[in-house]
Amino acid sequence: MYDDMMELVENHTYLTAARSKRPDNLMDALPPFDTLSAYVQELRDTGQLTFDAVFHEPIGYYQMKCFLISDYSVSKAVFATDVELYKLIRDQRARLRLAHLIFKRYIADCSEGAHNQVMSVFETERRKRSLRRPGTLPTPTSNATSAGYAAPSVRIVPHVSAGPGDDAGAHFLTLQIGQTNVIGVHGRSVKAIETMLNNDMAPASLFDAAFLESVFFEKYIRAKSCERRDVTIADFTMLRMLGHGAFGAVNACVKNDTGKMYAAKCIDKRRVMGSNYVHGIMAERDALVSMDSPFVCCLNYAVEDDNDLILILDVMMGGDLKYHLVREGRFPEVRARYHAAQVLLGLEHIHSKDIIFRDMKLENVLLDEMGHCKISDLGLAIRTTRQVRGYAGTPGYTAPEVVAGHYYDRTADWFSFGVLIYRMLTGEAPFAAVDGEDADAAVLHRPADLSSSDLTDEARSLLAGLLEKSPMNRLGHKGATDIKMHPWFDPIDWGLLESGNLPPPFIPAPNEVYAENMVGVDGPDADQQFKDLVLTAEFQASLRGFPYQSNRAIQKEIVEVLVWNDRDTNYEKFAAQAAPAASTDSQSTACGTCTIL
């Protein structure tokens, strides 16, 4: 009874923190702009105030959008959003298609109708696709009420009544800028800028001077100055335990100044020292630092206290795929395909960093509150450009070449990926153990059972390729592109998926905790053998490179607060007057947006 009551209390605290509003006084706590002149000069001297640098920072990007709205340049703000999303896409076929669409929409289209109600090309394509392929992605389902739910889409900049946040309305500014394209440049001006940039003739600072003199630039500098402060364990408040691993607990936590929730992986220092595993912890930390993908849980901070090393990671409110599969038995194909596609993109990113993941399984795929997947736990990952040997993984998922003790490479991850897809579609393991043999022996000696009625012909073909025992004949041994091109993935628009504009078919209920009851759970039994260890000076010295803070994480937190604070702000009131009609001659090059081209 006591444990049940404690679980209710912890769950309530956890959910309340997840739904809490952002603080309203963050900007008041930041240093005034007139005290930061030396900092501004330092940024200039180190090349950090170029357009490219500022535009690709979360705070700089947000403040530029606010500035463009205040300057009545709504289409330019939408253009900036499309360019930023385009830059995130890695699939080359999708990049070519979307680059063509962006060029056609904003630069090549000089028709009168082009200036009416500008909409993101991603939003346009998402709507076209939903009409072209009815039933491909059904309305998302949830255990919670779906009233008021809107499928995620590209943010559309409003005309009035709202700031440039996620809650922005759907009003559009009708542009009257004469015979030119919707971003206000045309013909020779576009060519002149292209030539100048290609020949390295662009000046170091190619901003519109109005932005540099605006309140938005001041807010950018004030917010960016937060990067200079060291983040420590004192900046976080720990909440309920979400899980437990070999080296310690995983807790939800909140960053005190911004209210941002994270997951804290706490690693017992005594266990690390007693196991002589400093190199493994540092390798995991370094691998996480190198991650920069929406489909992989990334490292935001690494801090420590007297007892633990703490990795501050993305929190995933929707639980792991195993939790959901145990409850539901198996997933509909449309849902399994969506999850698999996002996992594929995550694995592709991990492999692009010369890392073999080595632990692809349902438990290591987490869902966020909107139903998007991320790969987690790089504890067994290894960075290498050569084949390696040595067992790592989870029985039943581990590739046969790993089980057999042979040399292997990243192709082993695609075998585990196939096991994951099979389990999602059928709820069963693909290799049936016989006569008491263990799961690894079954992988090594038994054929995959592809006879299940839950498998379509396309699914059988995909799984036959992924579960091929010979790594040289396995689907994916040449790279992720071959897997993406398999017919089973035909319904997936990889460009929309990478940009975050393909709605998930399942959304976790917002008022449910997707984690087991951890009240009263102690550490691993083996911890008892390390509890009396005294940490040595040599061990402490080996951890000097452990602390880390991501400037991007700091900026994203601040942007979330600013979006919340700006929810009722009409930035068009900042403009003294409407922007004049753009001319069509080559003199119309003096605008900040031109530099994006």
How many angstroms separate the Cα of 526 from the Cα of each of 268, 271, 304, 389? 12, 9, 22, 27
Residue in 71, 235, 268, 359 annotated catalytic: 359
Query: How far apart are the C-alpha atoms of 83 and 106, rounded to whole Å?
Result: 11
Q: What string of DSSP letters covers 118-143? A: ---HHHHHHHHHHHHSTTSSPPPB-S
- β-strand 548-549 against 261-268: which pairing, if any? unpaired
Of 499, 149, 497, 124, which is closest to residue 338 (Cα–Cα)? Answer: 497
> Please, what's the largest Cα pairwise distance for the chain?
81
Paired tokens of 467: 């579960």
Paired tokens of 583: 């001319």
Q: Which residues on neighbouring strands pair with residue 408, listed in sequence order?
A: 388
Active site residue 359: yes
> Cβ distance 216 to 225 under 8 Å?
no
Query: How far apart are the C-alpha atoms of 134 and 117, rounded to whole Å?
Result: 26
Q: What string of DSSP letters covers 347-376? A: HHHHHHTTEE----SGGGEEE-TTS-EEE-
Half-sphere exposure of residue 86: CA atoms within 13 angstroms, side-chain side:
21
> Cβ distance 450 to 460 under 8 Å?
yes
256: Cβ contacts below 8 Å, ≥ 6 apart: 235, 236, 237
Give the long-range contacts of residues 206-211, CB within 8 A, separation 24 or more.
206/50, 206/51, 206/592, 206/595, 207/51, 207/592, 207/595, 208/590, 208/591, 208/592, 208/593, 210/67, 210/71, 210/592, 211/64, 211/67, 211/592
Give the long-range contacts of residues 524-530, CB within 8 A, separation 24 or more.
524/244, 524/246, 526/271, 527/268, 527/270, 527/271, 529/274, 530/268, 530/270, 530/271, 530/273, 530/274, 530/275
φ and ψ at 530, to 5 degrees? -105, -5
The answer to the question of whether 265 is labelled as a binding residue is yes
Of 349, 403, 401, 407, which is closest to residue 373 (Cα–Cα)? Answer: 349
Binding site members? 265
Annotated binding-site positions for ATP: 265
Catalytic residues: 359
